[in-house]
Amino acid sequence: MNRANDHSKYPNWIDPSECVPYAKNAKEHTEKQIRNIANSIKRFGWQQDVVITADNVLVIGHGRRLAAIKLGCMMPYHRIDKNADQLTDKDIRELRIADNQTNAETGFDFDILQDDLDGLDFDGFDFDFGLPDENYNSVNESHVGNMLSSFLYPPFSVIFGNKGDWLERKRQWQQFGIRSELGRG
């Protein structure tokens, strides 16, 4: 194992095979996401370490671990350190979920994102920034009220799949076993 993209920022490095993934980690990591994390590590280096328990169980960084395995390299880590002797197993489980959820609850301000993307190059990444198409703002707003009376959401609305009521709808679908990423068959 090598320390690919080592910027000597981190004092502790570990072979990802020595870390035990948390068995009940509910965060899904797609091949696309793992490729993007690996590309980020190759391009920008390790800018985040993983967090592990005293017995090498992952707390934060399951996706980064999978990317390190894909790259065949060591990964930087630290052990839970803030009041580690006071954190219970329940606290650590809550930390794991809180870390995943804090990123899932928000989207982007598309105007700011569009401006910030200007001139940047994400060649090699497979990102869908979710930017609305050009015609998004050209919809005649006077039709919205009428459309809402016929549809749950107007068919031309921008859907934020990781926010608010759409996220709740996704959770309900998943409870019925519906998996949107598999398509309608």
DSSP string, 93-145: HHHHHHHHHHHHS----HHHHHHHHTT---TT------PPPGGGGGS-GGGHH
Q: How confident is the model at residue 137 (pLDDT cuts 50, 70, 90)?
A: very low
Q: How confident is the model at residue 122 (pLDDT cuts 50, 70, 90)?
A: confident
Numbered ranges of CATH 3.90.1530 in the chain = 13-104
CB 76 within 8 A of CB 37: no
pLDDT at 19 over 80: yes
pLDDT of residue 181: 63
Task: Please write the tens of the pLDDT for every residue from 41-63.
Answer: 999 999 999 999 988 999 999 99
For 13-104, CATH number out of 1.10.10, 3.40.50, 1.10.3860, 3.90.1530 equals 3.90.1530
| Top-confidence residue, 180 or 108 | 108
